[in-house]
Amino acid sequence: LSKTRYTFGFAKPKLILVLFAVTPCILTLSVQHPIDFLVSSVEFTILAAERSAVNLGQGFLDGPVPMFVSDILREVAAHPEKKGWHQYTRVKFPFGHPHLVNVLAKLYSGFIQGRSLRTVVVTVGACLALYYSFIGFVNHGDEVLIIDPAYDSYAPQVLMAGGVPVHCAMTVLEQAKTSNDFRLDIAQLRAKCNGKTKMMVLNNPNNPTGKLFTRDELENIAQLARDFNLIVVADEVYEWHVWGKQMIRFASLPGMYDRTISIGSAGKAFSVTGWKLGWCIAPKHLMTPIRMMHQNCVFTCSTPTQEAIATAFEKELDLFTKSPSQSYLLTGLPNELRTKCEQMYKMLHEGGFDPIMPDAGYFMIARFGKLDGPFKVPDASNDPLDYRFVRWLCREKVYVVF
């Protein structure tokens, strides 16, 4: 395996990534080969244990779960007589608890069009939905387009499927102030397409930049998908983490439902990542391989949590129209993230960083090039600057970062 380093538009990597949803989480943006990233994660995890460091390097939330969500799960657990809540989902519906599947059909009614039971598969987290998408469709040598910076699981999963990750880096203005300054070069993306290109991953809102793709950008991607007959994996797990702008689901664009696998996450929506509940939505001809994978790997997901999430979404759907200001998804979560984002921006700026304000998500990228320290001097590791910086921060400031 070649060890190509991707630095995403900068001659020297001088960016870090900060999770502002709860406690700060600083991650490297100079992604190496996926195997290198795994080794680095292990290194920093071990270093954290040795130093008894504050773990800011993993994206788990440490704030309280929304009370109404935990109350719903408590109510589900309090009714052992409800057999349908505590056993495998019924044989007729092994691909999702009927209550949740039908609620998701309402939530995505803009493009599901009444075919919910055949077009929804509930998975053990959104990451498994990604895995099904790659393993189910990617053959040996097939190429998969990935827009960088990208979630670190995409490339390893493509490789496990026998495919070839093809990276296309967004350009970014040297003095970028917001995540909108990350620009998708559609000409570069088109130039990377060929007869082997099978699929494209679209993460919107984007992790880690916080970029929310515009309608024009999405329509350009849609035209590319049509021209090269691509399957689009639309990873939209941060769709509720948006403030001040409109989130456009890719499958809602004209003609895109038939070629799109849309992926969502209950953990991200309701801040319960430990519940590990996600889903994918796709037309029947794309769903068949995914259903086969699910049937023979996981078979079914936790029924009590599916029931709880279904009830939580039902409550939210009712508030969407009757009282949107009381909705956690439409108002509570976005407002909370906006406040923490502004606070983190101020803290980083005062600490000597140059932060980039995101439009969505709970990550913030910041330049650290103005900071001085021994990490500026190359060492025997031959690691890039950002790796040396996060290693120094972990050892000297007792913060574990990736």
Transcribe 85-118 into DSSP letters.
HHSPPPTT-TTS-HHHHHHHHHHTHHHHTT-HHH
Q: What is the mean pLDDT of residues 49-63?
A: 69
Residue 399 pLDDT > 70: no
Lowest mean per-residue pLDDT among 97-111, 299-313, 375-389 = 375-389
Higher pLDDT, 157 or 5: 157
Residue 19 pLDDT > 60: no
HSE-up of 303 (CA within 13 Å, CB side)?
18
pLDDT of 30: 41
Mean pLDDT of the chain: 85
pLDDT of 10: 33
Residue 227 pLDDT > 70: yes
Q: What is the pLDDT of residues 93-119, one digit of tens each?
A: 668 899 999 999 999 988 776 666 788
Nearest CA to 131 out of 155, 150, 149, 147 is that of 155
Coil vs helix vs strand at 47: helix
- In percent, the amount of the chain with pLDDT more than 90 equals 57
Structure tokens at 207: 């992790």
Residue 28 pLDDT > 90: no
User: Options 3.40.50.10490, 3.60.20.10, 3.40.50.300, 3.90.1150.10; which CATH number does 15-62+332-400 get?
Assistant: 3.90.1150.10
Map out the domains of the chain as residue ranges.
Answer: 15-62+332-400, 85-322
Q: Evaluate whether 126 touches 147 at the Cβ level (below 8 Å).
A: no
Residue 269 pLDDT > 50: yes
Residue 72 pLDDT > 60: yes
**Rounded to two decimals, what is the model's pTM?**
0.87
Q: Binning pLDDT at 50, 70 and 90, where does residue 159 land?
A: very high
DSSP state for residue 143 in the 8-state scheme: E
Q: What is the mean pLDDT of residues 355-381?
A: 85
pLDDT of 55: 65
Residue 162 pLDDT > 60: yes
Q: Binning pLDDT at 50, 70 and 90, where does residue 27 land?
A: very low
pLDDT of 12: 41
Q: Evaluate whether 89 touches 303 at the Cβ level (below 8 Å).
A: yes
pLDDT of 32: 43
User: Cα–Cα distance between 231 and 161 in angstroms, integer?
Assistant: 15
Q: What is the pLDDT of residues 168-222, one digit of tens each?
A: 999 998 889 999 999 999 999 999 999 999 999 999 999 989 999 999 999 999 9
pLDDT of 201: 98
User: Cα–Cα distance between 93 and 105 in angstroms, integer?
Assistant: 14
pLDDT of 14: 58
Structure tokens at 252: 């809602």
Q: What is the pLDDT of residues 6-16, one digit of tens each?
A: 333 333 445 65
- In percent, the amount of the chain with pLDDT more than 70 equals 84
pLDDT of 240: 96
Q: Evaluate whether 243 touches 334 at the Cβ level (below 8 Å).
A: yes
User: Options 3.40.50.300, 3.40.640.10, 3.40.710.10, 3.90.1300.10; which CATH number does 85-322 get?
Assistant: 3.40.640.10
Residue 378 pLDDT > 80: no
